Amino acid sequence: MRKTILSLTALCFALLAFSQRVPFNLSPSGEYMFAQRDTCQLFMSVYDPTPESETSIEGRQKPTILFAFGGGFISGSRNSREYLYWFRRLCDNGYRVITMDYRLGLKGKGNIGITQVGAIYDAIEVGVEDMYAATAYIIDNAEALGVDPANIVISGSSAGAIISLQAEWHLCNRSGHAAMLPKDFRYAGVMSFSGAILSRNGKIRFEREPAPVLFFHGTTDKIVTYNKIALLKNRFEGSGSLSKTFAKEGYNYNIFRYQGNNHEIAASFMKNVPEQLRFLEENVMRAKKRIVDATVSDPDIKVWQANSTKDVYKNN
């Protein structure tokens, strides 16, 4: 268990390049400061749908995707080149993408081990607070941004996926920083690339039904656990464990379990775009309780064997 929790420190290297480098630059249509913190200003970048793309289905505007980058709460950038090709695919399919800054709560703290779960939790909660601040800014400026505030899907990679799942969990329970958002506000969906939820109070429960959630995760991920880690009241539950709760409670979800893959699934955006688009169109827009539980074996996704930071670098 100690080895697994210690591996959480490797999250700082989880912002990994796609095997195919991005062949172009994609410029945002606008950049906006959404929060002023003691030590920094937080900005968001807006990528509008591609001109002449289909921006609605059956007369309803397609969701806006609010994205949080990966990087282990230590590094990363909202406009990192590695994400741009994926942003372009979403924009070409009529979706608006907003990518946000958040404070890096573990930056400068060195290795985080089993006795420092509190530091990991605090870093997650800082990220959640910033995601809520970005959401509040979007709600307040919805008309100017061209966003339907009732149609926001949150998404993230690795650390950003943890923030997204944690944000939805708190919102369903009206806990943490959820009071920052209007009482009746709901996210329209969540897309998680190798994410998890960290509870310091035992089993993870939802007081009200969560929005539809799309999980992508490698079954042998040793950086963000696929199953769960439990130590006293601390529970870190990944996609495999969370999907069991969703199935038991009858929640709306899709999970794609990448058999034998590790943390490379955190950067698998371009490998599963069709699954993303169908989830957005069917589960989110058409509100279908379309449950998908799939085990995937994809030889085109290189297994990095990311058991340590040395392994991560070796395979990039």
pLDDT for the residue numbered 4? 42
DSSP of 192-236, one letter per residue?
EES-EEEESSSS---SSPPPPEEEEEETT-TTTTSSEEEETTEEE
* Domain encompassing residue 158: 2-314
**What does the pLDDT read at residue 231?**
86
Instruction: Give residue 113's pLDDT.
Output: 56
Straight-line distance from the first to the last Cα atom of the chain, in angstroms, rounded to the nearest whole number: 27
Please count the structural domains in the chain: 1
The pairing of beta strand 41-47 with beta strand 96-100: antiparallel
Q: What is the pLDDT of residue 302?
A: 83
Q: What is the CATH number of the domain that holds 197?
A: 3.40.50.1820
What number of other Cβ atoms are within 10 A of residue 199's Cβ? 17
Q: Which residues are bridge partners to 62 per DSSP? A: none
| Ordered per-residue pLDDT tens for the chain, 316 residues | 444 433 444 444 343 434 344 456 789 999 999 999 988 999 999 999 999 999 999 999 999 999 999 999 999 999 998 899 999 999 999 999 999 999 998 887 766 654 588 999 999 999 999 999 999 999 999 999 999 999 999 999 999 999 999 999 999 999 999 999 999 999 999 999 999 999 999 999 999 999 999 999 999 998 999 999 998 899 999 999 999 999 999 999 999 999 999 999 999 999 999 999 999 999 999 999 999 999 999 988 888 755 433 333 233 3
The predicted structure's pLDDT at residue 20: 44
Which helix (H) or strand (E) is 190 found in, with range? strand 189-193
- Token representation of residue 251: 């929640």
Position 24 scores a pLDDT of 64
Residue with tokens 């601040």, as numbered in its chain: 133
- Helix 117-140 to helix 159-173 angle (10° resolution) is 70
